[in-house]
Amino acid sequence: MQDNYLDKIKYEKIGETEDSKQRQLNWNIAFGLQAVDNLTPSKYMVDLATENIIGNKSYEVVEEQVRKYYENTDNKKIDKGERQADEVSLRIVKILNDKAFTFNYLTLKQYHKKLFENIDIGIDEKYIGEFRDYNIMKKEPILDGETVQYADYSMIEETLKYDFEEESNQKYIEKTDKEKIERICKFTAHIWQVHPFGEGNTRTTALFIQKYLNSKGFDVNNELFKDNSLYFRNALVRANYSNISKGIEEDTRYLMLFFENLILNKQNKLDNSVF
């Protein structure tokens, strides 16, 4: 009797989803996130994604065909931006399909490595999946060339530990919808402001937050990242920029609008021109 009961509750291996709608969603998210770095996938990758969506090709087959495609193409004819978008998109899709998740700042490292290992994103390979050991700045068009003040490299690990510990103590079930959105905005803005990696921070953060919200059981409208990933990045910039001499303070309103649409299924207008 006991043996029969145990047979019924055996673990199942998580494989590739057979739900074509979910596959379509995963590819939409993956392609959409490339826009934060002004990247677009190649037509070849889009065609392969379509084959995967309708069930003609598995992720593994698509991955192998992409690898061979770039190995057999003259480097002079390869668009480096398209190649990065192709390879990173495929990796995002595979991570989104995998339901496993651990809430830990080390997962950020893991995702960064999974997304960008052996891909040229403009930093030394030794920094892929590792926190930077140098300070950075980035001139932002929406700030007229000013930069967000990112975390000092010597404080990255301690700052992330604090942010993750604070978040782990949150009891979302006791919060109102407004409080939930405010808290998620705060956590997301904080870990993005740390900017632990030399490049690829926004895509890594976005992927982590999607996985985290799904793990918490939020009903997430992941389609939002398809067309609004650049707005998401700009909203993060405004949530972390202040210049008192110019009368500018950190402003989370734009990020709030995004997360209200993402989690509460509101229809706020997400307009990049407002920045």
Residues 6 or more apart in contact with residue 19 via CB below 8 angstroms: none
Q: By C-alpha distance, which of 21, 89, 92, 99 is closest to 55?
A: 21
| pLDDT higher than threshold 80 for residue 207 | yes
pLDDT of residue 146: 94
What's the pTM? 0.91
Confidence category of residue 221, pLDDT binned at 50, 70, 90: confident
Q: What percent of the chain has pLDDT over 90?
A: 83
State the pLDDT at residue 14.
64
| Averaged pLDDT score across all residues of the chain | 93
Which tens digit of pLDDT belongs to each residue from 72-129? 999 889 999 999 999 999 999 999 999 899 999 999 999 999 999 999 999 999 999 9
Torsion of CA 240, 207, 29, 185, to 10 degrees: -40
The whole-number pLDDT of residue 16 equals 78
pLDDT of residue 6: 55
For residue 9, name the pLDDT band (cuts at 50, 70, 90). Answer: low
pLDDT value for 86: 97
Domains and their CATH numbers in the chain: 1-100 (no CATH), 102-275 (1.10.3290.10)
Segment 34-60, tens digit of pLDDT = 999 999 999 999 999 999 999 999 999
Six-digit token string for 161: 């530990």
Average pLDDT over residues 133-145: 94
Within 8 A by CB and 6+ apart from 155, the residues are none
Angle (nearest 5°) at CA 123 between 74 and 159? 150
pLDDT given for residue 270 in this prediction: 96
Sign, CA dihedral 225-228-230-231, equals negative
The yes-or-no verdict on residue 200 having pLDDT over 90 is yes
> In angstroms, rounded to a whole number, what is the distance separating the alpha carbons of residues 224 and 110?
24
147: helix, coil or strand?
Answer: coil
> Average of pLDDT values for 140-161?
96
